[in-house]
A and B are shown apart, each in its own frame.
Chain A
Amino acid sequence: MSADTSIKHVTETTDFRSGNEMAAKAAAQINYHLMGYFPITPSTEIAEYLDEMKANGEHDIVLVPADGEHGSAGICYGASTAGGRVFNATSANGFLYMLEQLPVQSGTRFPMVLNLVTRSVSGPLDIRGDHSDLYYGLNTGWPILLAKDPQAVYDMNLFALRVAEHHDVRLPVIVASDGFFTSHQKRKVKYFTDRKDVQAFVGEKQPVYVDSTDVKNPITIGPYMNDPDYINNKYQQSEAMYNAEEVFLTVAKEFEQLTGREYKLLDEYCMEDAEVALFLINSASGTARDVVDKLRNQGIKAGVVSPNMIRPFPKKAIQESLRKAKVVLVGERADSYGAHGGNISHEIKSALQDCHADTTVLTRIFGVGGKDFYASDAEEFFTLCLKKFNGEEVASFDYHGITPGKEENAPKRLLAPLTKEETTGFINVTQDEASGELKVKMSTMRALTKKAKRIAPGHGACPGCGIFSGLEMFFKGIEGDIVVLYHTGCAMVVTTGYPYSAHKVNFIHNLFQNGSATLSGVVEMFWERVRRGEVEVDENNLTFIMISGDGGMDIGMGPAIGTALRNHKLIILEYDNEGYMNTGSQMSYSTPLGHMTSTSNIGVESVGKAFHHKDTVQIMASTNIPYVFTGTEAFPQDLIKKAAKAQWYAQNVGTVYGKILISCPLNWKAADNQGKSIVEKAVNSCFFPLYEIEKGITKITHNPDEKNKRVPLTEWLEMMGKTKHLLRPESEGALKQFEEEVERRWNVLKAKHESPYL
């Protein structure tokens, strides 16, 4: 890093950073009061970087890990009413999950800054970058600034807060940058060397307008307001939104004097005399500029326009820029299905109609789902413009980059469906008529190798992943056919990468806040169709199972509880690897105290996760469902027997919940071959006791104390890189706290085991 003092009023540092790093850098330098967040690719890194910086004492932002994006938006909204500066970052379905909260915040006029790292909206699940999430944001009433490269991400984050807090605006503001193309691409960038200069630019203290905690000035926020008043609130909001344009320009001018970097409403490239032009949002515009240079060398008057702000829509600037061009192609990385063009095309057409321009506007939907945009794509766009310019017929709206596919490659069924013989006759569960107790008779482990696996080999999990040994061991106890629903997460992603699926049985995916509800619907539809005589399968041979990670039991806790309270006949099986591993190891509520994740870092200011692990088993037990259990692959007979009982209850009584602890070598930072031993130590240290709660009665199924197998917690912790620091003298306090909590929960469990009334 080298300090550059040549620019006008502020010293800047040159560095090599990605968009996400620059967003985090800006937030840290601004030193927001609070960030409420929930991890979602590709914006997650922003919270991770901030957590790491906080662990090293680089800023004071309070980082609140929410239980989902709806929660994170709520945390941010609440915080913004309480007088401080608020920051958040999200993407795709995370943005849609918080969508309901966004008009609440803009309509009640509380500023904050949200980084939207744009990504394709599900389904099917696609984690790469397009603008389908951004387009949902257009009508939320938040001004939206666009950042086309990592430098702009930093600069726009400084502008955004100024715009948000300006007395003529007072609205929450979105900074949108392209997921992966910008968020994960490192470029040469500059940032203010001294954070005092940042604070001087944004203002050291936010101008507080109302404060929900100022008891000397009582106020009512968010009243019940029908007509005729509501429309006047909206008119104020509309005016404030339009004011954001002028404020942006003023702030950008001030910034230019400090840094020499100029931002207008539009970035125009060779537009003075352009006859054909592309209008592109964010990163694709860079590639298009390269192509303009090439076309200009061939004598073609080509140009590119990319906006720096899309809300408010810079109508006048767009009229001035595009009215001289003959043909403009608007490339849109999202569709407005059925509208004969994406949202931006129609807004541009409307702007040009208002000034009676005779510019032809073409629309091409491109790059959806993160499909790359190469120079050759930009050239094809210009070719279309030139054809139209030369009077040829060109479709005004179409998709670009689609392929028909060849008939010979069309998918054909490969595996024969599992037969009853392959999956039944290995386990027998009977109920003792007198006592009501279940008796499980099962084959030996050796004989069970004959039972068909429900998951095929060839899935893409990491070497040594504990999910699949855990799930298949559980399935060993399940007889007959199953329909499974997997929440978003590692198990889902690595088994269903299109066009492959590793599931031999019927499989559904839904987003991880809603799987329990979805499977409830499947189950009830099935039984209603059985009642109506529409179903041709053996209903007594079918079991419904939902598979979730611990992340899905955080964000999906509400629907899981709702499902349990309704007591649908299904099993909820949670594989707990103590974090959001699919997105790069962020802490979940199930992460134990002191464990290191990418959002619970170790540093001078922190020793890993700050609060105790969630006792999901007891939460689910309190819904009074007939059967609840825990298990691990280290105790096969125990787990298979519980699976058999789970199936019996799910077929005959109602909802079952079970949690299996499974290893994640990658993010536990442990050896690939140690999975079984680690979860065994977790059981024998009493961190993860094996037990079941059958019709309300708790029974410990493996008591390490009685079996003389008890090991100290440290023997488990020393096996994983994520917990080794807990054995160091400086972590003594955290370790003691953790040991005490484990012991307390174990003692409570033993008391429950002793008494049928607890």
Chain B
Amino acid sequence: MTMHTMLTKTNNLGLYEIRMESIGGLGANLAGKMLAEAGVMHMGLNGSNFSSYGSEKKGSAVKAFVRFANPETKLRESAPVDEPHVVVVFHEAMLTTQNCVSGLHSDGILLVNTKKSPDEIKQLTGLQSGTIMCVDALGISLREKTRINTAMLGALCQAIDFLSVDAVKAVIQETFEVKYPKLVASNLRTFDAGYSEGLMTTYIDVENTVSVTTKQAGTLLGYLTQPIGGVIHNPGNSILKDLSGSRQGYLPHFNSETCIHCAACDMHCPDFCFVWEEGEDKRGRPQQFLSGIDYQYCKGCMKCVEVCPTGSLTSEQEVEGYAHEHAVKHHFALVNE
């Protein structure tokens, strides 16, 4: 199956550019690969695809890039996509932790995995114009026991006019049937649901004069401020990081009523989320008491739930605002205290 698709909207190099913003483990890398393959191998386009790379970890920010061009257009650019036509956000939390829409064309498309509406996302991102599409890809994937990436591809096919549903579905089929034939049907259903369940709104900003949204700022330190040799003089500053974006829909709840303070959770937690206070036991002797969970660092692995002997920790679907309301913060000994 080879079609002859022609791109109408491209940048000055003749490229149509897509950037996927995701957390490792959600399948953005594979989504980018499948999308690009659909374009190049099935739709007759020229194209390229790659991802931003760190070490091989789940739970940290990753970007996947897809470029399309008409078949006769030379594709020589190898740098990341800086001014995308389309931004795909796989995890809603990323909209607040980083500038996902950096460089997005003012008439571009923003696709977000969220339960929110396009109006709410517009407000959250401060986008002035363009098309916003929202799809509850997580809900679909929980229903189908798949990853969200095929749902996002479905929604993307709805949002981008030149994409061929048949081509993308053919690639999904080819990708899964070799190693995981049992997953073909569920992923095709996930795709279809993503295609039909998205909510899309286009905004026009008559005042707008900028062609792209503000771009991400560069690095924090420079050659005048970076200590020589790469030495970090303020170690332990990882406490400033917020890892809640690593959670994939679930988090542990803590019931202090039934807790026996055995410390099993603390011993097995890889992310040091449990907060203890010193108090007195019944005889008035000093004793440690578990006061709660600092959700800023919780990646939702649920090891604590697994090792808790009393059921005081339970795995629950994450509701917006819960972690913020119920977090018990660590008391770090800071230098200026």
Measured CB to CB, the residues of A under 8 A from B are 1-2, 15-16, 18, 41-42, 123-124, 127-128, 149, 178, 180-182, 184-188, 283-284, 286-287, 289-290, 294, 372-375, 402-407, 409-416, 444-450, 453, 455-469, 472-473, 490, 493-504, 507, 581-585, 633, 636, 665-666, 672-677
Contact = CB atoms under 8 A, between A and B. Distances in A.
A372 B59 contact: no
B224 interface: yes
Task: Identify whether the interface residues of A are mostly helix, strand, loop, or mixed.
Answer: loop
Given A464-B303, A673-B305, A503 B235 contact: yes
A460 B53 contact: no
Interface string B68-91: 000000111111101000000000
B209 interface: no
B263 interface: yes
Given A286-B77, A409-B221, A446-B262, 5 more contacts: A185-B49, A186-B36, A498-B230, A500-B238, A672-B300
A128 B53 contact: yes
A413 B231 CA distance: 12
B46 A673 contact: no
A372 B79 contact: yes
Nearest to A399: B223
Nearest to B260: A446
A187 B48 contact: yes
Interface in B217-262: 218-227, 229-230, 232-241, 243, 246-248, 261-262
A402 B241 contact: no
A500 B241 contact: yes
B60 interface: yes
Interface string B292-329: 00101101111101110000000100000000000000
Nearest to B299: A463
A39 B278 CA distance: 48
B221 A672 contact: no
Contacts of B175: none
B335 A414 contact: yes
Nearest to B37: A16
Task: Identify whether the interface residues of B are mostly helix, strand, loop, or mixed.
Answer: loop
B334 interface: yes
26 contacts: A16-B41, A18-B50, A41-B53, A128-B53, A178-B78, A181-B50, A188-B46, A294-B12, A375-B79, A403-B218, A411-B232, A446-B262, A447-B288, A448-B263, A449-B276, A449-B288, A450-B288, A457-B238, A458-B237, A460-B241, A465-B301, A502-B236, A503-B235, A504-B235, A665-B58, A675-B303
Nearest to A186: B49
Counting from the closest, the 7 A-B pairs by CB-CB distance are A405-B222, A458-B238, A286-B76, A464-B301, A405-B225, A415-B236, A124-B230
Contact of B227 (A178, A402, A411, A500): A411
A447 B285 CA distance: 12
B142 interface: no
A468 B234 contact: no
Contacts of B261: 446
Contacts of B60: 460
Given A188-B47, A447-B288, A676 B263 contact: no
Q: Report the interface size class on chain B.
A: 35 or more
Contact of A414 (B49, B239, B270): B239
Interface of B: 2, 12-13, 24-25, 33, 36-37, 40-41, 46-51, 53-60, 74-80, 82, 218-227, 229-230, 232-241, 243, 246-248, 261-264, 266-274, 276, 278, 287-288, 290, 294, 296-297, 299-303, 305-307, 315, 330, 332-335, 337
A463 B268 contact: no
A392 to B, nearest CB: 25
B55 A127 contact: yes
A497 B337 CA distance: 26
A547 to B, nearest CB: 15
Contact of B271 (A187, A403, A457): A457
A458 B56 contact: no
B45 to A, nearest CB: 9
Contacts of B270: 461, 463-469, 675
A498 B221 CA distance: 10
A495 B243 CA distance: 13
A413 B335 contact: yes
A284 B76 CA distance: 9
A412 B278 contact: no
A311 B286 CA distance: 73
A265 to B, nearest CB: 20
Contacts of A414: 234, 236-237, 239-240, 334-335
Nearest to A1: B41
Contacts of B248: 463
A472 B267 CA distance: 8
A728 B77 CA distance: 47
Contacts of B296: 457-458
A501 B236 contact: yes
Given A403-B218, A410-B225, A673 B237 contact: no
